[in-house]
Structure formats: C-alpha cells, structure tokens
Amino acid sequence: MAREMTDSASARGGGVLMGALVVDSVGNGLFLPLSLVFFTRLTDVPLGLLGVLLSTANAITLPVPVWAGVLADRLGALPLVVAAQLMQAVGYLAYTRVDHPVGIFLAAALVAVGVRFFWSSIFTAVADYADAGVSGRSPDSWFAWASMARTAGLGVGGLITGAVMADGHAAAYRGVAYGAAGCFAAAAAAIAVFVRAPRLHGGTGPGGTGYGTILRDRPFLALTGVNTVLAMTSMMLALATPTFVITGLRGPSWLASALLVGNFVLVSVTAAPVVERLAGHRRTRVLVAAAALWALWSFLLSGLVPGRPALVIPVLIGATLLFTLAEVMHAPVSMALATAISPAELRGRYLAAFQYSFTIAGIIAPAFFTRLFGVHRALPWVALGAIDCLAIVAVRLLEPSLMTAERRVAAAPAAQSAESPRR
C-alpha cells in the first residue's frame, strides 16, 4: 500500500496519547505498591488466600494476548486500549466495595484482564500512530517516548502512594483506589476523543491463519525467546536489588530506594534522546549492546560483599547507570524490531505474541532470583550475567534472519533515506 495518505487518514493527537500514557501509568503507580496491602488492611481475608486469589486472577489472563492480537488486526488497536483502561477503572472502583473472596477475585480478574489487554494492544496502537503520523518520528522514537511517559507516571504514582501508606487510614487506601480509577477513566476518555491512529493495512484472514503464520515464523519465535531473557533481566533491578542490598549486603534501605528512584528519573528523561543518538545503528546490535551492559551489571553485583560500603555504594551506583542505559536501549528498540519484522496486516497478532516474552519473564523472574539467592547472594547475578551472554550470541546468530528493510534504528524519514544505500 502506498505511503501517501489523505488528511483523513493521518494520525493525530500524539501529544495527547503520550499524556494519556502518563496518566494511565500514574494509576498503575498508585496501586502497584498496594496490591496485597490494600486487601489486608480493608478486609478480613487471610493473606495466604489473598495471594492465591490474586495469582489466579492473573493466571486466567494468559490467553488474552491471543484474542487481543486478532481484535487489534480486525478493529484497530486504539479501541482495545480504551476498553482496557475502562476495565481497569471499573475494577478499581469495585476494589472499594468488595470484602469477600469471590468479590475480590472478580474485581482483581477484571483489572488483570484490562492490564493484559492494554499491554497486548498499546504497542500496536503506537506503531499504527507512527505509520500514519506526520511528525516524522519513527517507531523507535515513539516507543521511547512511551517508555518515558510510563516511567514518569509510575514514579509519580508511587510517590503519592508512599505518602498514603505512611498515613495508614482505611479512607486513604480507598482514596488511592478511587484515584487509580479516575486516572484510567481520564486516560481512556482523552484517547477516545482526541487520538486517531488509522491503520495503513487491515488485518485479513481468519485468526487461525495469522497465528499459523507466527508459528511458522522461526526468526520471530527465536527473537521472542531471546527477548524473554532480556525482559527478565530488565525486571531484576526493581524485583531483586532491594532484597540483595538490604539482606545480601546488609546495606541501608535508603540505598535500595535511591537506586530505584535514580533509575526512574533517568529513564523518564533519557529514553528518547538515547534512541535519537542510536539512529542508523542496527537494531540487533543495539540489543547486543544492551545485553552486554546488563551482563556487566550482573557480574559487578556478583562481586559485592557485605561490610565494605566504600566499595559497595560507588559500584552499585555505577552498575545502576549501566543497567539504566541498557534499559532505555532495549525497551523501545526491541519493540521497534518486533514491529519491523511483523507483516503489516498481522501486526496486532505479532506484537501481542511478542508480549508473551514479558509475561513469561514475569513468571520466571521471582523464582529464578529467590531460589538462587537462597543458595548464595552472588549466584543469581552470575547466572543472569551468563544467560545475558548467551542472549548476545543468540542475537548475533539471528541477525542474518532479521535483515529487513527496517532493521536500523530510525529517528526520522530523512535519516532513513540517508542510510538507505547501506541496506
């Protein structure tokens, strides 16, 4: 299909879309620290049962990306994003009313389904916007801006909730749930009214045909598998560093918090500028560099020992900077690469399937860290660094299969044209 578009086929509302993602992420940041605490403070349901209810609510969402991909290809991704945000808004409102196991499960399931639909469609929506947009920004840049928006929103929401948790009153906890619901509803309304991202290619064929194509696309499946390793590594700073610093190194809790806050701030302000600086480089090589930085981060942490703060603090700060650089390289570029190698008419299915790499990583990461950390504080970091080194080898081996016309990081159409002779 020709790239030329009429005004009616052009995307609009990019700034509103990024702003809505900030608001959406504020909602996530508000409630994320309260996932269990909320119900333990406001209900009499035992903690063990709460854990089972919330885990089951999340487990039933595993098929959602399959449905979301089909719907995104047939209906467009933006309606799914709006519906997902409204589901979360209703779910959080329900949180303020439920006090028995069945009600808690139903409310948590509604939120979990909304979350899964959101993450299974938002990147397709951003890619569609980049295709139809007139700003000149590439998918890499839009994904980077989305990453900045999400991180900033999570940080703001987390800070607000920190103050609420210090207050400790039931009304304050319910206020957080109302605030989260309001954030999701506002984001949905803004996107529905002001954002347009028309698809340049419509989905064709039955759902089975699309997923059959994916199952036969070995390079894509291999990339998804490798990205599972990288995605798991990307989760380890927030998931594992606090336990490692406080328990493994017997360090102060403020140090772990400072590292996380520093990472949030840097990602919030540097993702897009870093991607702009990477314009012209192969996306596969960027992923290799990110994996190498993460491997170095892991190995640095594996060498730290308790009782040496003069060494531990500078190394942790320097290692976190390496982690953050890898993070801002990996997040947008991996999604842009998955977008580039996806057939346009099946983009929704492909990007929804690619999200399984993050889903599986989220399932594996807690057990991976806790089991190895229980043996020795350094073992999870040595193992993680080794796995990242294997990911580097895997990406290099995959590189010939991923040589498409969109294989390089792109900043603007002019930059793409300038580098076209090298392709």
Looking at residue 95, its pLDDT comes to: 92
- Residue 277 resides in a domain: yes
> CA nearest 115: which of 151, 89, 95, 144?
89
Domain co-membership, 214 together with 187 = no
- Residue 3 resides in a domain: no
12 — phi, psi (to 5°)?
Answer: -150, 160
- Residue 45 resides in a domain: yes
Domain co-membership, 121 together with 151 = yes
How many domains would you assign to the chain?
A: 2
C-alpha span between 32 and 154 (Å, rounded): 9
DSSP lists the bridge partners of residue 282 as: 408
- Residue 98 resides in a domain: yes
Domain co-membership, 153 together with 247 = no
Domain co-membership, 297 together with 186 = no
Domain co-membership, 190 together with 48 = yes
- Residue 232 resides in a domain: yes
DSSP notation for 164-180: HHHH--HHHHHHHHHHH
Q: What is the pTM assigned to this prediction? A: 0.83
- State whether residue 36 is helix, strand or coil: coil
Looking at residue 300, its pLDDT comes to: 97
- Residue 317 resides in a domain: yes
Written as tens digits, the pLDDT of the chain (423 aa) is 333 333 445 777 888 989 999 999 888 888 776 777 788 888 888 878 888 888 888 889 999 999 999 999 888 899 999 999 999 999 999 999 998 999 999 999 999 999 999 999 999 998 888 877 666 677 788 888 888 888 888 888 877 877 766 666 778 888 889 999 999 999 999 999 999 877 655 555 444 457 888 988 999 999 999 999 999 999 999 888 888 998 889 888 888 888 988 998 999 889 889 988 888 889 999 999 999 999 999 999 999 999 888 899 999 999 999 999 999 999 999 999 999 888 888 999 999 999 999 989 988 998 899 889 989 999 999 999 999 999 999 999 999 888 764 567 765 443 333 333 333
- Residue 204 resides in a domain: no
Looking at residue 137, its pLDDT comes to: 73
Looking at residue 320, its pLDDT comes to: 96
Supply the DSSP symbol for 402: G
Which of 194, 226, 241 represents a domain boundary (last residue)? Answer: 194
C-alpha span between 291 and 285 (Å, rounded): 10
Domain residues for the domain of 149 are 12-194
Domain co-membership, 323 together with 178 = no
Domain co-membership, 233 together with 168 = no
Which of 140, 164, 194 represents a domain boundary (last residue)? Answer: 194
Domain co-membership, 30 together with 155 = yes
Looking at residue 202, its pLDDT comes to: 56
Pick left, alpha or beta for residue 114 (phi over 0 → left; psi -120 to 50 → alpha; otherwise beta).
alpha
Domain co-membership, 164 together with 223 = no
Looking at residue 6, its pLDDT comes to: 37
Which of 165, 194, 223 represents a domain boundary (last residue)? Answer: 194
Domain co-membership, 337 together with 392 = yes
CATH number of the domain to which 139 belongs? 1.20.1250.20
DSSP lists the bridge partners of residue 196 as: 12
What tokens does 123 get?
A: 């990147």
What tokens does 258 get?
A: 């400072």
